[in-house]
Amino acid sequence: MDEELNITIDPACLRLEAPLALDIIMQLDTFGLCLYSMLSFMSLLTLLLYLEQCVYIYKKLPYPKKISIIWISGASPVVATMACCGMWVPRAVMITDMTSNCYFAVVVYKVLALLIEELGGMRDFLQRFSGKTFRINTGPCCCCCACLPRVPVIFSSYLGMLFLMKLGSMQYAVLKTVFSILSVILWMNGTFHLTNLNINSAMIWINPFVGVLLVISIWPIGIVFMNTKILMRSLKIIPKYALYQLTLVLCQLQTSIINILALNGCIACAPPLTSYARGSMLSQQILIMEMFIISLFTRSLYRRLYDPLPSEEHDNEQNEKAALKAALEEHDV
């Protein structure tokens, strides 16, 4: 006769909702209390360093460049602050995640605006590159399409390529906020739930569509960066762009992977935390540490003054000198 196995499952693991903040505090031991205190201090320090950096940027840099830099520099402090709130109040994770994602949607547009402003603004950008062509086979949409033709830059802020690229990045900032508000309304109505993966669920339709909007919005930034990074090398534009991409991956891709693992039961529950709540908790804690480190690198790159870029005439002179030097060396040979 086969022996029956009696498996006892904690009722807390079967709950759909996250525990209350008081339940989390009451369950903390000495190590947990020290961990929560350290992460909260890191979030606070990240926010204080950012506020001091904002004061420096506002005094030292001209408008509108300083507005874009303040928005971009605030990505890691905002994400860390929202992650800290979600860590202490697990039931507010959806609200805190949507808040940080809406802020980062604006940062995506501000990165493109900063690239244009570093080259003198829209008018100077169009004058510098008017008549030239940009390659558009860049990530994440067309990195494998080497056969795509180069697109000319037209001197028109309303009909040209630059306007379309700005529109492509701005749409995510607007639509992400709209869909976040819609998600909160559906959540209050009980229609939107992060753990509901049924085909009739609102979440299974809204989140993939927002992901497509994100991919479309970062494509114009890749186009401008790949075609202008050599000109802006003195402004440390490559490490700045790398930090932006790293923040994007950590906030979007890493969080999604952890949530998927938690939904599939790969992360064990730890009462009073369910499997999904524990996955969200781990995601918040990891984000706080990562954003603290990123904020230090961001501070070292943005809290400083750079020499302005040379004019287009200077670039042409340098190109002519380089061509003449190459011709003389070839003649001597």
* CA–CA distance, 12 with 94 (Å, rounded to integer): 20
Enter the pTM of the model: 0.85
CA atoms within 13 A on the CB side of 257: 7
Q: What pLDDT, in 10s, does the model give residues 70-94? A: 999 999 999 999 999 999 998 888 8
**What's the pLDDT score for residue 196?**
73
Please measure the distance between the N-terminal and C-terminal CA atoms of the chain and give it in whole angstroms.
95
* CA–CA distance, 234 with 306 (Å, rounded to integer): 8
Q: What pLDDT, in 10s, does the model give residues 225-249? A: 988 988 888 899 999 999 999 999 9
pLDDT by residue, tens only, the chain of 333 residues: 444 444 454 555 555 577 787 888 888 889 989 999 999 999 999 999 999 999 999 999 888 899 999 999 999 999 999 999 999 998 888 899 999 999 999 999 999 999 999 988 888 888 888 878 888 888 777 666 667 778 887 766 555 778 888 999 999 999 999 999 998 888 888 787 777 777 777 888 888 899 999 999 999 999 999 889 888 888 999 999 999 999 999 988 898 888 888 888 788 877 777 888 888 899 999 999 999 999 999 999 999 888 877 766 555 555 556 555 655 555 555
| Cβ–Cβ < 8 Å for 86, 284 | yes
| Cβ–Cβ < 8 Å for 153, 128 | no
Q: What pLDDT, in 10s, does the model give residues 248-292? A: 999 888 988 888 888 887 888 777 778 888 888 999 999 999 999
- Mention every residue, 6+ apart, whose C-beta is less than 8 A from residue 162: 116, 122, 125, 126, 153
| Cβ–Cβ < 8 Å for 214, 252 | yes
C-alpha radius of gyration, the chain, whole number: 24
